[in-house]
Chains A and B, each alone.
Chain A
Amino acid sequence: MATWPTFFGRINETGFPASSDAKPERDPFQLRALPQEDVLFYCKKIDNSRLVREADPQARGACWSAIGAACLLLAVLTSVLVPNVASTLAGYKLQALRVEERQLLDEKRTLELQEAELLSPQRLEKLAQGQNLVAPFPGQVVRLNAKGDSAVAMVK
């Protein structure tokens, strides 16, 4: 708390209010001394070094109890709320994944359609004609791996 001396800046190096006699020359800009300035601006020095807090085990225990209770409450609240929050976040993620799955399936179907269009016999025949290819004669193509679906073949 500010005291008068500190408020008005009248403290000398020793910590006591400066005396008017101490200065031989008067500062022309310094204000005149207030009436009873030395009384009002007297700063009493108090030495608290010998003061010691009295031990209060009850208050200390209460403090720790409060801290413990707060922690416990926090833990309980966390344990109650975290699963709900996690569930909500997981719900968001799950829904997003479901939407993505559907989109991917749709995309897959679209790609299958494109593949089927590209493999249509009409288109293949046009391409073959463009390359001057002709259909092989019966028996001309010999499959080297007759059992499997292998496309390995030779032309006689």
Chain B
Amino acid sequence: MVDRRLAWLAGIVLVWGAAILFNLISLQIVHHREYAKLATERQVVAVEIPAPRGTIFDRNGQPLAMSVPTESVSIDPLRAPDLGVASELLALVLHMDRTALYGKMQWAHDHHHGFLWVKRKISYEEGQNLRNLRVEWIHIQDESQRHYPKGTLAAHVLGSVDFEEKGNAGIEQNLDVELRGRPGQARLLTDVKRRGIDSQSESDMKPGTALTLTIDERIQFVAEREIAAAVEAHHAESGSVVVMNPYTGEILALASYPTYDPNQPPQPGEDKAGRLNHAISVPFEPGSVFKVITLSAALETTDLRPASMINCGRGAITLFGRTIHEAHGGYGTIPMAMVLAKSSNIGAIQIGMRVGQANMHQYVRKLGFGQKTGIPLPGESAGKVRKLARWSKASLPSMSMGQEISVTTLQLAQAAAVIANGGLLVKPRLLLKKGNQTVPAEQIVRVLQPETAITMRQMMEGVVMPGGTGTKARLQGYTSGGKTGSAQIYDRVAKHYTHSYNGSFMGFAPLTNPAMVAVVTLNGTHGTAGFGGQAAAPVFRAVVTEALRVLDVPKDLPDQTPTPQVATKEEAADLAIADIGRGQPNILEDGDDEDQPGAGQAEQPTGPMVPNFRGMTMRAVLVEAAAKGLTVIPDGSGVARVQYPRPGSTLHQGERIRVEFAR
């Protein structure tokens, strides 16, 4: 009996063991792959390691654009048990409109979409609240969000990004490939509570390359502040400022107004003009600032020199059946330097005629007009320079005073840099470094002889001196040179020039060794107060003064307070312009604001007499010069042998005395 029972028990145990063994074989051997795959799917999670977009710094390492991690919420509408409850829950946590969300979820559900973005870039608290819900159909994904911590600062340079962090304007768009990182992939082994146990990297994450711009945020801020104030004050439509190092081409500031906040995405119906970079994308007729190009070409290709006398025809000239006037009054025969200082239209035309069409066209092209500068920003305009074959007879006189050509503010800065650096065409640079690699500068091309550039600088100093058209650009403590421009805007519908102006000023400082060039343009100014000398020159002064201070450029002039008499003269000149400019449709170009009626003859120079330093030691020369408030540039050692200007001659304001010493 007992044996029989034991036999039964043994049989049952054997069958039980066999069943276990059979199952083990089935699980571990027969269906091994299948179950191993299922286990892997449950235990191993593919994790994307986000790659932050590269930070954009200014030249001093201040971050202008950077990405910070954030989270976005998506759901699987097909797995949500009750769309009504789900939408109510999500709307409550994410502070959204419940009805709209329900509509979206219902639509996705009806169309069998298993994925729906609920909200992008949620806050940390919202993310935590969602996690606490522990609902499997809600997915929280890591993303990053682009921030522009300085707000509107350099908005046109930086540009902006879309929801996918893809650049859609500015440097963000042009260098999107470098800025965009490559996310990595890792496989994370998790336990039943989804805690990570081990991870294996499948592909390494490559963060976006950090970019260092040539922009100096302090100078950029001042440029934006001043151009905004000027545009508002003169009721202009827009304005732009470019500040550039003439030797390296590094752009220290590139401001455009109106501006925008790149942190805010474009709103429907928003005026796109605010996002337009006027400094590079909006060409305009430059007007009188272009006379610098005319005179440079003349110095290079003709025997004209600053002292060469130019017949300005007493205020009117008739060419090819067209009468061209000065803005007001007229000049007789004046030196070429005075043509620039007074911004004589007829003088510029006479000089341009001496240059000739071919030479003029050649130098316009050599100085970079009619072609893009190559700055790494989207939407750059090349401006417009007609082919020589398409020039009419009136083209040369028109172009001599800055008409029949369109240029950008940046192109003017590039041309001004040629004058400032001694005749070299330096391409504007916006990118200083990519990561830790310095971006090499482009090859520099000589386009003007050094003598020509130096002579132009001297003549351009006359523009900011009393009697010139740009006295409001004169700096305290620094010498400077420049040129004003006030070009009438052409009405394409009415087919004549209006009384709206593009007021501009291009200049550099200090004169002998310019640390920077700056070009200011205000588009759509009205009346005489909107001329370049009135509207743009003060912006130049404010920006350059601040920039020179920021860059620690040593002063080259003793501090002097401008006399009130100068300001009174300017005001008188403004009124005269307003009277004369009205109702004269045949005037191609208004002269500039500080032109004084009847100033046909050269002004008598006033200033201190140059002492005789010859035979004196350097110490004695410096002591005497300091006592008289004069600036001396010593060269060599020993006793003074040669000096320029000569002893006894009158020293112009801002002019330095060069003394050569020898033993």
- A: residues with CB less than 8 A from B are 88, 91-92, 94-96, 98-99, 106, 109-110, 112-113, 116-117, 119-122, 125, 135-141, 143
In addition to A88-B197, A91-B196, A137-B476, 9 A-B residue pairs with Cβ atoms within 8 Å of each other are A91-B197, A92-B197, A95-B195, A106-B68, A109-B67, A113-B63, A113-B149, A135-B549, A138-B477
**Complex A-B: 14 CB contacts under 8 Å:** A91-B196, A94-B198, A95-B188, A95-B199, A98-B196, A106-B68, A109-B52, A109-B69, A117-B150, A120-B149, A138-B478, A138-B545, A139-B477, A139-B555
Kindly name the residue among A96, A122, A125, A138 whose own CB sees the greatest number of chain B CB atoms within 10 A.
A138
Give B residues with C-beta under 8 Å from A.
52, 62-63, 66-69, 147, 149-153, 188-189, 195-199, 217-218, 221, 225, 476-478, 545-546, 548-549, 552-555, 559
The answer to whether A95 and B198 touch across the interface, beta carbons within 8 angstroms, is: yes
Report the tally of A-B residue pairs with Cβ distances under 8 A.
80
CA distance A141 to B548 in the complex (A): 12
> Min CB distance, A18 to chain B, in Å?
44
Contact B150 A113 (CB under 8 A): no
Residues of A within 8 A of B189 (CB): 91
- Give Cα distance in the complex from A139 to B147, angstroms: 35
Residue in B149, B188, B218 whose Cβ sees the most chain A Cβ within 10 Å: B149
Q: Tell me whether A139 and B554 are in contact (CB under 8 A).
A: yes
Q: What distance in Å separates the Cβ of B215 from its nearest Cβ neighbour in chain A?
A: 12
- Tell me which of A91, A92, A98, A121 contacts B221 (CB under 8 A): A121
Interface contact A95-B197, CB-CB below 8 Å:
yes
- In the complex, which residues of chain B have a beta carbon less than 8 angstroms from the beta carbon of A137? 476-477, 549, 559
Least CB distance from A72 to B in Å reads: 27
Please, how many angstroms separate the alpha-carbon atoms of A101 and B199 in the complex?
15
Note all chain A residues with C-beta closer than 8 A to B549. Answer: 135-141
Chain A residue numbers with a CB within 8 Å of B217 are 121
Which chain B positions have C-beta within 8 A of A119? Answer: 62
CA distance A138 to B555 in the complex (A): 8
- CB of A10, distance to nearest CB on chain B (Å): 38
Smallest CB gap from A89: residue in B: B197
A138 to B475, CA, bound (A): 10
A95 to B, closest residue via Cβ: B196
Docked-complex contact B199 and A116, CB < 8 angstroms: no
* A-B residue pairs, 7 tightest by C-beta: A95-B196, A116-B149, A121-B221, A138-B549, A91-B197, A91-B198, A117-B149
Q: Describe A's contact surface by its main secondary structure.
A: helix
**Residues from chain A with Cβ under 8 Å of B559 in the complex:** 137
Partner of A121, one of B195, B218, B477, B555: B218
Q: Which chain A residue shows the least CB distance to B145?
A: A113
On whether A92 and B195 interact (CB within 8 A), knowing A135-B546, A135-B549, A139-B477, the answer reads yes
Task: Judge whether A122 and B221 touch: CB under 8 Å.
Answer: yes
What separation, in Å, do the CA atoms of A101 and B267 have in the docked complex? 38
Q: How far is the CA of A119 from the CA of B217 in the complex (A)?
A: 11
Instruction: Give bound CA distance, A95 to B200, whole Å.
Output: 11
Distance of A43 from chain B, by nearest CB (Å): 35
Residue of A nearest to B152 (CB): A122
Measured CA separation A138–B68 after assembly (Å)? 38
A94 to B197, CA, bound (A): 8
> Contacts A138-B549, A139-B555 known; A109 to B153 CB distance under 8 Å?
no
CA distance A116 to B476 in the complex (A): 33
- Min Cβ gap A55→B in Å is 37
- Shortest C-beta distance, A78 to chain B (Å), equals 21
- Which residues of chain B come closer than 8 Å to A117, judged between CB atoms? 149-150
| A81 to B151 alpha-carbon distance, docked (Å) | 58
Q: Is B68 in contact with A113, judged by CB distance below 8 angstroms?
A: yes
**Contact between chains at A109 and B68 (CB < 8 Å):** yes
Given A98-B199, A121-B218, A138-B545: A113 touches B66 (CB 8 Å cut-off): yes
What is the chain A residue whose CB lies nearest that of B66? A113
Q: Given the complex, which residues of B lie within 8 Å of A110, measured CB to CB?
A: 68
Using CB atoms, name the residue of chain A closest to B546: A135
Contacts of A140 in B (CB 8 A): 549
B66 touches A112 (CB 8 A): yes
User: How long is the Cα–Cα vector from A91 to B188 in the complex, in angstroms?
Assistant: 11
**Is B548 touching A138 in the complex (CB atoms < 8 A)?**
yes
A contact residues around B62 at 8 Å (CB)? 116, 119
Which residues of chain B are within 8 angstroms of A141 by Cβ–Cβ distance?
549
B197 touches A116 (CB 8 A): no
Chain A residues with CB under 8 A of B153: 120-122
Name the CB-closest residue of A to B52: A109
How long is the Cα–Cα vector from A112 to B476 in the complex, in angstroms?
38
Q: Which chain B residues lie closer than 8 Å to A120 at the CB level?
A: 149-151, 153
Q: Which A residues touch B69, using CB under 8 A?
A: 106, 109
